[in-house]
Amino acid sequence: MDLTLKPFFLCFAALLLLLLSLLSSANPVNSDYNTLVYNQCANQTFTTPPTQQTLSSLFQELIAHSSQSKFFKHTQATGDDDETGISGLFQCIQDISNEECHSCVSTLPDLSNTLCRESVSARVQLHGCYMHYELDGFDSESSNHKLMHKTCGELSNGLAVGFEEMRGAAFAALESGIVVSGDGFYKTSYEAVQVMAQCVGGLGGCECGGCVSSAVQIAEAECGAALSGQIYLEECFLSYAYHPDEIPDHPHPETRRDRNGSNGKSVAIVVGGAAALCLGIYILHGARRETQRERQKEEQRQRLCIFSPHVATCLPPILVMEESHKQVEESHEQVEDIDSAF
């Protein structure tokens, strides 16, 4: 490879590695998705060993579908009696990747076995997904709007001016947006408050909207002036967070705000700066190479140069030879003049 181009290719390789690292860090597999939020286990346990094997088969079925879907529901028959089985489902947050969903769901069976052992009904909620199973015929209290768990962050203590107004506007946009979206998931923001809600798969738009409205009321009542909160109901959940460093792009709620857009802009800025740096290095290197070539030419000319005693400047050898020949001829003419004088 030409030595002149070597720094350019090295810089290009470094730029490519930087780009790949930035792109990979823009959407990392978030280990926080696998963190336990809460679990609920029934007091009753399975009475027959085959039922535990059925539960294990159900878990494997759920895991197998988690790399292809964000929601899956299945009933696993127990033994030869097809009328009795264990019904279970999993659901991942809609805006995580399939890889993250699969990783999250894969941790649920071990957690369920550890936390709930052989309970006939269990629910395990992680940050990125949850799983629920129940033995057919088990009489459990169920309500779409039943509060399962809540988490409230630190209080604003008057430091976040206008926080509750911003949160109220964000909640209003969320309640209407979740119904219009029709897919049971909605994410939006108003100024510095970001909100997200998701309903269990298969829940209709109006039913989902009603569940989310209940979650909003609980969040306002239970979390009050807390700057963040998560509300988990039987068939939906809601989360909100206050980010004072967020600069609003618009004065109205923005639908499905793509936070990856800001990451993309950051990547573009960094990569563009790196590219400009590489170009500058290449130009400087080329200028240095050109200077070196000129210096080498000068040194070569100096080596080939012969100084004439009668000429102040350096002359090439051919000119010096011509000058010496001229001097010899002048000497001969002077001798001839002397001879003619005698």
State pLDDT tens for residues 253-276. 333 334 444 444 444 454 455 556
Distances in whole angstroms, Cα of residue 162 to Cα of each of 51, 178, 221: 54, 24, 18
Domain ranges of the chain: 31-135, 147-257
Q: At what angle do helices 6-26 and 260-304 cross, to 10 degrees?
A: 170
Q: Residue 57: its pLDDT value, please? A: 94
CB-based burial label for 267 (10 Å; 0-12, 13-18, 19+): middle
| CATH level 3 topology of 31-135 | Killer Toxin P4; Chain A (3.30.430)
Q: Do domains 31-135 and 147-257 have the same CATH topology?
A: yes
* pLDDT value of position 10: 53
The model carries a pTM of 0.64
CATH topology of domain 147-257: Killer Toxin P4; Chain A (3.30.430)
And the tokens for 15? Answer: 């730029």
Q: pLDDT tens digits for 199-235?
A: 999 787 899 999 999 999 999 999 999 999 999 999 9
What is the per-residue pLDDT for 262?
43
Residues of the chain with pLDDT under 70: 1-31, 49, 79-83, 140-144, 246-282, 284-287, 297-342
Tell which phi-psi region holds residue 206, choosing left (phi > 0), alpha (psi between -120 and 50) or beta.
Answer: alpha
Distance between CA 310 and CA 293 in Å, rounded?
Answer: 31
Q: Check: CB of residue 71 under 8 Å from CB of residue 105.
A: no
Letter for the amino acid at 102?
A: H
Can you give the pLDDT at residue 180? 92
Task: Provide the pLDDT for residue 341.
Answer: 56
What amino acid occupies position 61?
E
What is the model's pLDDT at position 146?
Answer: 86
Contacts of 62 (CB under 8 A, 6+ apart): 72, 74, 88, 89, 90, 105, 108, 131
